[in-house]
Amino acid sequence: MTILSQLRDILDSAETDFLVFTQTVCPYCTLAFRTLDAKGLSFTDVNLDHYDGLRQAVVRETGHRTVPIVFDMRDEDPVFVGGSDNLLEYL
């Protein structure tokens, strides 16, 4: 399986309101999780530290270099939101 197909599989299999790509130590990820929880929105946390090469694929696809990298999964097609600051504005 290629990294790009792995990314597509993760996006396609998400059954929550939001998909959040994170890393192990990330205060902005915690902020994103708290924001989603406060709004009553479900999310899937995908820790990029556990997937070789996936971070580079996500950066290539989104242009966003820092975590969290947030997608709104409530529509048929995933919507790239951005990071935690973008999420605060988006909601």
Per-residue pLDDT, 60: 87
Residue 73 is given by DSSP the state -
Q: Which domains are delineated in the chain?
A: 3-90 (3.40.30.10)
CA 23 vs. chain centroid, Å, equals 11
Question: What's the predicted TM-score (pTM) here?
Answer: 0.89
pLDDT tens per residue across span 3-59: 667 777 887 788 899 999 999 999 999 999 999 999 999 999 999 999 888 888 888
Contact 32, 39 (CB under 8 A): no
Q: Each residue of 68-78: pLDDT tens digit? A: 999 999 998 88
